[in-house]
């Protein structure tokens, strides 16, 4: 977790995580194999092929800015981030044919504030 405090700003917080979907099964959360980086900041579970729900262990006070990248060794993957909120989000991945696929890795970042009045 990174904290930054500038002259006229309140604390900003970022969550970074690297997930290995092959090691996430069912409602398994926060495993060393499934989340090698960031497991102290979020939990993750899969509800099916290509669908990953992330829950922030310390929720933001409002929805953060979210960035993600899904990698696969042989497939060209597309993804979308849905169900975004201050407490988590869902990442859905699929291939060029529109078939749900599990990526090899997901890199994820969420950056936000812990106060409601930050501009």
- What are the pLDDT tens digits along the chain (119 aa)? 555 555 555 678 898 988 888 777 655 555 667 788 887 888 888 888 999 999 999 999 889 999 999 999 888 999 999 999 999 999 999 999 999 999 999 999 999 988 766 55
CATH number, span 2-113: 2.60.40
Judge whether 42 and 34 are in contact, CB under 8 Å: no
Looking at the chain, which runs of residues are DSSP E strands? 2-4, 12-19, 42-48, 51-56, 65-71, 78-82, 88-94, 105-113
Q: Residue ranges per domain, the chain? A: 2-113
Predicted TM-score (pTM) of the model is 0.81
Q: The tokens of 70 are what?
A: 């899904």
């Amino acid at each position: 977790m990174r904290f930054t405090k500038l002259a006229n700003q309140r604390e900003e917080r970022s969550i970074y995580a690297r997930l290995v979907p092959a090691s996430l099964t069912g409602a398994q959360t926060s495993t060393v194999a499934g989340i090698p980086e960031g497991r102290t900041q979020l939990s993750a579970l899969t509800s099916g092929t290509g669908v990953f729900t992330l829950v922030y262990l310390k929720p933001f006070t409002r929805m953060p800015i979210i960035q993600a990248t899904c990698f696969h060794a042989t497939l060209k993957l597309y993804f979308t981030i849905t169900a975004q909120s201050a407490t988590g989000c869902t990442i859905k991945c699929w291939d060029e044919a529109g078939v749900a696929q599990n990526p090899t890795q997901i890199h994820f970042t969420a950056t936000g504030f812990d106060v409601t009045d930050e501009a």
